[in-house]
């Protein structure tokens, strides 16, 4: 099973903005119930779409500056980046097919 990339202020630019493939970024926290609900879906999608989309996770408690820079006001927030730009985003827990719809048109 493919692992997601743990994103930080140090690697966000390289891993997300400069990525040659689309990136789904999950802004989350350990204490967030809805984040825990979608976590397994994120992991499954990382494996299913390996090589076609990169999955990254930002722990908003550990990376407060990064979360603030991206205007995160509620979690989970999922953002899809392509060619360094946000092309889709949605906040809140959602079923796996809805997460997939966020990025399917960009791969």
For the question of whether the overall pTM of this predicted structure is more than 0.75, the answer is: yes
| The pLDDT of residue 2 | 53
Give me the mean pLDDT over the 94-104 stretch: 97
Sheet with 85-91, strands from edge to edge, namely 5-6, 54-59, 23-28, 77-82, 85-91
CATH code: domain 5-102 is 3.40.30.10
- Give residue-wise pLDDT tens across range 73-97: 999 999 999 999 999 999 999 999 9
pLDDT at 31 over 90: yes
Q: What pLDDT sits at residue 4? A: 87
8 A C-beta contact, residue 34 and residue 90? no
| Active-site amino acid positions | 32, 35
Q: Return d(Cα 70, Cα 42) in angstroms, integer.
A: 20
Share of the chain above pLDDT 90, in %: 95
């Amino acid at each position: 099973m493919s692992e997601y990339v743990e994103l930080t202020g140090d690697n966000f630019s390289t891993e997300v903005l400069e990525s040659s493939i689309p990136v789904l970024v999950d802004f989350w926290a350990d204490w967030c119930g809805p984040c825990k609900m979608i976590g397994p879906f994120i992991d499954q999608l990382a494996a299913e779409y390996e090589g076609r989309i990169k999955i990254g996770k930002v722990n908003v408690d550990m990376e407060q500056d990064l979360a603030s820079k991206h205007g995160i006001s509620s979690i989970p927030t999922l953002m899809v980046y392509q060619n360094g730009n946000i092309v889709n985003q949605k906040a809140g827990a959602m079923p796996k097919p809805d997460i997939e719809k966020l990025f399917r048109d960009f791969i």
